[in-house]
Amino acid sequence: MLSTIPLRLLSLLALIAAPTAAAAEDGYDLWLRYRPVEAQWRSAHASRATAIVQRPHSPTLNAAASELRRGIHGLFDVTPGAGLRDGAIVLVRDASAKPVSGDGFCLRSRRIGGHSVTVITGSHDIGVLYGAFAYLRMIQMRSLPAQVDFCDAPKIPLRMLDHWDNLDGTVERGYAGRSLWDWDRLPAIEPRLIDYARANASIGIIIGWPLAEVAASGCWPLTPIISGTEGP
């Protein structure tokens, strides 16, 4: 009897702790959790994320800068500044950048104005956004080298997800609830749609989806716009 007491005690403690663990992690953040890194990684890399500099500004570059601020704050518990300084991350859109092409990007350690910085370059804004996610991913994977010189680009020009979402909110072969898209509220954007876009951008997907109403009716408001025909 005495030999079973520790096992029973451990089982009880596990049952008590389970709700707390479940409440702490609901899976919503996917791989974009940005939990704090270990002390040795923080001391090694926090000095390389002191500020975010954009050249130029645009909605997509703003999104890249916002993601970097979110990630750096979560991973290192610091808030990056905005001016050029040692350790700054510089976001640059440069149509003439080589060997970057299409939606590709490069991460490079450079000196600008006498400051040691990390430059994320893309020939298009979306490439810079992909590069920002790549930078954060390297930190999360504990694989960011002391001097970074890395380029990458998607191999497939058109990257999209097939949702099979219908305009009435149902999903063809859907078993996890109603559609993510609330068509009646567009162009209003809910926070979960922004998070959905972040998750897709982090793995290099261009947001696109087909409407799966195989028996489309002109009664739907979007049908004339999509098909170029008049409804009944």
Tens of pLDDT, residue by residue, the chain (232 residues): 444 445 554 454 455 554 444 446 788 899 999 999 999 999 989 999 999 999 888 999 999 999 999 999 999 999 999 899 999 999 999 877 776 777 899 999 999 999 999 999 998 999 999 999 999 999 999 999 999 998 998 888 888 887 777 777 888 777 778 888 787 787 788 888 889 889 989 988 875 666 665 555 555 555 444 444 444 3
Has residue 211 been placed in a domain? yes
Report whether 76 contacts 36 (CB < 8 A). Answer: yes
Question: Based on the domain organization, do 144 and 160 belong to the same domain?
Answer: no
Place of tokens 């099979």: 164
Q: What is the tally of structural domains in the chain?
A: 2
Question: Based on the domain organization, do 183 and 146 belong to the same domain?
Answer: no
Question: Based on the domain organization, do 58 and 132 belong to the same domain?
Answer: yes
Task: Please report the pLDDT score of residue 139 as a whole number.
Answer: 95
Question: Based on the domain organization, do 189 and 219 belong to the same domain?
Answer: yes
Question: Based on the domain organization, do 122 and 191 belong to the same domain?
Answer: no
Domain end point (choices 109, 127, 152) = 152
SS3 letters for 127-189? HHHHHHHHHHHHHHCCCCCCCCEEEECCCCCCCCCCCCECCCCCECCCCCCCCCCCHHHCCCC
Pairing outcome for strands 105-112 and 115-122:
antiparallel
Residue 208 is classified by DSSP as -
129 CB neighbour count, 10 Å cutoff: 26
Question: Based on the domain organization, do 110 and 184 belong to the same domain?
Answer: no
Question: Based on the domain organization, do 203 and 181 belong to the same domain?
Answer: yes
Residue whose C-alpha is closest to residue 157's, from 103, 87, 220, 215: 103
Pairing outcome for strands 115-122 and 88-93:
parallel
Task: Please report the pLDDT score of residue 215 as a whole number.
Answer: 55
Domain end point (choices 152, 176, 206) = 152
Question: Based on the domain organization, do 43 and 134 belong to the same domain?
Answer: yes
Round to whole Å and give the CA distance between 12 and 156.
51
Domain end point (choices 152, 186, 221) = 152
Has residue 84 been placed in a domain? yes
Round to whole Å and give the CA distance between 75 and 35.
5
Question: Based on the domain organization, do 106 and 184 belong to the same domain?
Answer: no
What domain range includes position 216? 156-232
CA torsion sign, 138 to 140 to 145 to 147?
positive
- Residue 160 CA, chain-centre distance (Å), reads 15
Residue 38 is classified by DSSP as P
Has residue 46 been placed in a domain? yes
Task: Please report the pLDDT score of residue 36 as a whole number.
Answer: 95
Has residue 90 been placed in a domain? yes
Question: Based on the domain organization, do 47 and 71 belong to the same domain?
Answer: yes
Question: Based on the domain organization, do 44 and 145 belong to the same domain?
Answer: yes
Question: Based on the domain organization, do 137 and 164 belong to the same domain?
Answer: no
Task: Please report the pLDDT score of residue 212 as a whole number.
Answer: 60
Has residue 4 been placed in a domain? no
CATH of the domain at 133: 3.30.379.10
Has residue 143 been placed in a domain? yes
Task: Please report the pLDDT score of residue 1 as a whole number.
Answer: 43
Question: How far from 176 is each of 39, 170, 171, 184, 209, CA to CA, in Å?
Answer: 40, 10, 9, 20, 18
